[in-house]
């Protein structure tokens, strides 16, 4: 505790204390005031220590630096303003309160102002201390005592979605100490429904879009401890798994809408059956999805294997073309000997000229179509498969990536190597025939 709080403790121990209360709030901050009754002799004793804090101390309603008139009995007010956060919202300030009542008033201010976005960078819970003994327990809340500095853990999805960031932090599970819940229950339930709904209009009307879109007003809510606890369990179940939260949320909306149309009011009778029904419907949904996932996985596997076979076939075709080119070269050489035996005059020019024309024309055609025409086509084809299959099937990217790495990628690499090899052979033939023709 700092020097000012040490002074306050000293005054309390000397039986000068009258009362303490939260007197104001402003932009994520609050002011706590302590009131004391000083005799003129006691004021002279503490005057120098009080003067150390001119901005926080009032004497008979005047600043201590204003030379207030001292009487037999004097009203001393010490006020401390504290912000909720420091370091650009990266951590909480420590909170020190006189008693439980001040903490309760502070909590009403805190949960009315703090949004989920304010907690985005905070890593540890808020540390709370009291100047007198209290029986407050902070388990499962955003607060902790001085002896336990627990890390603050929030579902990741709340920190990624702009809609959730704008909602009050009181809507989150395990954030309000149980002893405060009764006084904050209306505000918490309203924020919980805002978290679960599609729209919250004019701070009073909720819209939930589902197969049967419904709306209800805050006046139609029967507030209760049971209702907020049931909603807290639902929120935990929906958002505990970031990968499937959307499916769970949609199931909640459908079930809630159906019940609301039957019951007309929102209360603990409705919320009591919500979680079990959501879990049941989600299990059926996942079972259906699993069946479709297995079938789709089989289809995807077959398509990828077929694709791999196409790449392999094209590689083999290029190998065959390389062999044909080699046979062509051999044929030209043999023709040279044949022509040489028939007519010596044209034997030196004709074979290389034919080879030069053939290889040059082949290079031109390959250049126009692209030396890597086949591998480029297959790369575009695999990209197209990845994009379209994600919309058609229950697509497991980890599985398809594995298929690609184990089967497709090696064949594409092999195809690219063969294409490069064929290109080099064409160029080699062209150079050989050019040199032969020049020599002839």
Asked whether residue 336 is assigned to any structural domain, the reply reads yes
Residue 326 · residue 355 · CB < 8 Å = no
Looking at the structure of the chain, the number of domains it has is: 1
Q: Say how far residue 321 (Cα) sits from the centre of its chain.
A: 52
Q: Is residue 394 included in any domain, yes or no?
A: yes
CA atoms within 13 A on the CB side of 10: 13
pTM (predicted TM-score): 0.64
- The pLDDT of residue 1 is 45
Please state, for a pLDDT cut of 90, what percent of the chain lies above it: 38
| Residue 297 domain flag | yes
Q: Is the pLDDT of residue 89 over 70?
A: yes
327 domain residue, yes or no: yes
> CA 387, 390, 391, 395: dihedral to nearest 10 degrees?
170
- Note whether 57 and 63 are within 8 A (CB): yes
- pLDDT at position 57: 95
Is the residue at 131 inside a domain? Answer: no
Q: What pLDDT digit, counting tens, does each position of 175-233 carry?
A: 998 888 888 999 999 999 999 998 888 888 999 988 788 899 999 999 999 999 999 99
Lowest mean pLDDT among 175-189, 193-207, 288-302, 376-390: 288-302
In a domain, 357, yes or no: yes
Task: Give domain status of residue 85, yes or no.
Answer: no
- Residue 130 pLDDT level (bands cut at 50, 70, 90): very high
| Cross-strand pairs, 200 | 206
Confidence of residue 13 (pLDDT cuts 50, 70, 90): very high
Q: Whose CA is closest to 238, among 257, 217, 255, 215? A: 255
User: Quick check: helix, strand or coil at residue 394?
Assistant: coil
Instruction: Report yes or no on 434 lying in a domain.
Output: yes
Domain range spanning residue 302?
A: 292-439
Max avg pLDDT among 63-67, 240-244, 420-424: 63-67
């Amino acid at each position: 505790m700092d020097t000012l709080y040490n002074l306050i403790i000293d005054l309390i121990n000397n039986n000068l204390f009258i009362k303490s209360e939260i007197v104001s709030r402003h932009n994520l901050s609050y002011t706590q005031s302590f009131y004391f009754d000083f005799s003129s002799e006691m004021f002279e004793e503490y005057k120098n220590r009080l003067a150390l804090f001119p901005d926080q101390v009032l004497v008979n309603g005047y600043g201590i630096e204003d030379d207030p008139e001292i009487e037999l009995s004097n009203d001393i007010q010490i006020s401390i303003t504290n912000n909720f956060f420091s370091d650009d919202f990266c951590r909480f300030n420590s909170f020190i309160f006189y008693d439980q009542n001040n903490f309760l008033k502070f909590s009403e201010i805190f949960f009315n102002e703090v949004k989920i976005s304010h907690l985005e960078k905070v890593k540890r819970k808020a540390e709370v201390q009291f100047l007198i003994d209290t029986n407050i327990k902070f388990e499962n809340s955003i607060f902790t005592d001085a002896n336990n500095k627990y890390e603050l853990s929030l579902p990741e999805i709340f920190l990624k979605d702009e809609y959730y960031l704008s909602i009050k932090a009181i809507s989150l599970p395990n954030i309000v100490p149980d002893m405060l819940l009764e006084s904050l229950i209306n505000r918490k339930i309203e924020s919980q429904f805002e978290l679960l709904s599609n729209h919250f209009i004019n701070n009073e009307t909720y819209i939930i879009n589902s197969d049967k879109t419904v709306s209800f007003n805050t006046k139609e809510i029967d507030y209760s401890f049971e209702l907020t606890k049931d909603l807290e369990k639902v929120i935990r179940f929906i958002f505990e798994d970031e990968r499937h939260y959307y499916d769970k949320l949609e199931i909640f909306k459908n079930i809630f809408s159906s019940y609301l149309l039957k019951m007309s009011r929102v209360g603990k009778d409705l919320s009591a059956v919500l979680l079990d029904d959501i879990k049941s419907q989600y299990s059926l949904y996942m079972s259906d999805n699993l069946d479709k996932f297995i079938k789709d996985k089989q289809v995807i596997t077959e398509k990828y294997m077929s694709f791999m076979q196409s790449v392999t076939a094209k590689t083999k075709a290029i190998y065959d073309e390389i062999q044909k080119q080699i046979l062509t070269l051999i044929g030209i050489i043999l023709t040279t000997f044949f022509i040489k035996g028939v007519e010596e005059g044209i034997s030196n020019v004709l074979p290389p000229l034919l080879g030069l024309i053939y290889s040059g024309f082949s290079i031109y055609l390959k250049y126009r179509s692209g030396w890597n025409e086949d591998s480029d086509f297959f790369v575009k084809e695999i990209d197209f498969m990845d994009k379209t299959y994600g919309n058609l099937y229950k697509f497991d990217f980890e599985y398809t990536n594995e298929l690609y790495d184990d089967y497709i990628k090696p064949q594409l690499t092999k195809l690219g190597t063969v294409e490069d090899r064929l290109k080099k052979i064409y160029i080699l033939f062209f150079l050989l025939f050019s040199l032969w023709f020049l020599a002839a």
